Amino acid sequence: MKLRADVKPKAVLFDLLTALIDSWSLWDAVAGGEAEGRRWRAAYLKITYGEGRYRPYEDLVREAAAAVGLPARLADELAARYAELRPWPEVGEVLRSLRVPLGVVTNCSEALARVAVACTGIEFAVVVSAERAGWYKPRPEPYRLALAELSVAAEETLFVAGSAYDLAGAAGVGMPVFWHDRVGMAMPPEAPPPLMRSETLFALRSLV
């Protein structure tokens, strides 16, 4: 899905925990190092994006820890430290410059989504968690719920992905996608190419 050069989106939806927040650092800290944290996070992403119907987020995080040989109790520590999450440095500057409604669609529990959103310092018009939608991304239900609550069509809404897994999910409901690929993730072979791929959010302003 492409945005015409002469047409700007009427709204922007964001992935939360990778596109807006440096959640990698917290996972690394809880795991005891970057190598362990990245393996744990990769396992979590694989499990979560393959899950479908919602079941407790914390359970998936525990399963991911066990899958890479880490203590399952680390999932509880991660949840307890969610308020330590910090946005990427340019989040405030870029998002406050956008003159359209903004929303979040996140694979997270409702309670932890609220904690993470507060860490960004941004007020969003809509926050849709996997728990509230009843499904995990890349199922269409979370994206569609956010679009319905914003009262905007998919083709008029830009989705800002943080994880490669969001590329197919957002495009599948008709949204053009900007990929904020902060950590250099591999693009899945079946994923549609994004409208733009960037290591920072600054380039987003050229599209909105």
Q: Do 142 and 39 belong together in one domain?
A: no
Fill in the amino acid letter for 208.
Answer: V
Q: Do 123 and 72 belong together in one domain?
A: no
Which structure tokens are listed for 7?
A: 């047409």
Q: Do 105 and 16 belong together in one domain?
A: yes
pTM confidence score: 0.93
**CA 180 to the chain's CA centroid:** 10
Residue at 91 is within a domain: yes
Which structure tokens are listed for 168?
A: 């197919």
Residue at 109 is within a domain: yes
**Residue 1 DSSP class:** -
Of the three residues 40, 63, 83, the one that is the final residue of a domain is 83
Q: Which residues of 1-29 are buried (b: 16+ CB within 10 A; e: fewer)?
A: bebeeeeebbbbbbbbbbbbbbbbebbbe
Cα–Cα distance list, 66 to 46, 70, 187 (Å): 14, 5, 26
Q: Do 18 and 106 belong together in one domain?
A: yes
Q: Do 117 and 56 belong together in one domain?
A: no
Q: Do 153 and 196 belong together in one domain?
A: yes
Q: Do 105 and 154 belong together in one domain?
A: yes
Q: Do 97 and 186 belong together in one domain?
A: yes
Domain carrying residue 60:
24-83
Residue at 42 is within a domain: yes
Q: Do 77 and 112 belong together in one domain?
A: no
Q: Do 90 and 172 belong together in one domain?
A: yes
Q: Do 117 and 140 belong together in one domain?
A: yes
Residue at 2 is within a domain: no
Per-residue tens of pLDDT for the chain, all 208 residues: 444 445 689 999 999 999 999 999 999 999 999 999 999 998 998 899 889 999 999 999 999 999 999 999 999 999 999 999 999 999 999 999 999 999 999 999 999 999 999 999 999 999 999 999 999 999 999 999 999 999 999 999 999 999 888 999 999 999 999 999 998 888 877 888 899 999 999 999 999 9
The number of domains in the chain is 2
Q: What is the pLDDT of residue 1?
A: 45
Residue at 178 is within a domain: yes
Q: What is the CATH number of the domain that holds 177?
A: 3.40.50.1000
Residue at 164 is within a domain: yes
Residue at 3 is within a domain: no
Which structure tokens are listed for 15?
A: 């992935």
Q: What is the pLDDT of residue 5?
A: 45
Q: Do 77 and 105 belong together in one domain?
A: no
- Answer for the pair 142, 14: CB distance below 8 angstroms, yes or no: no
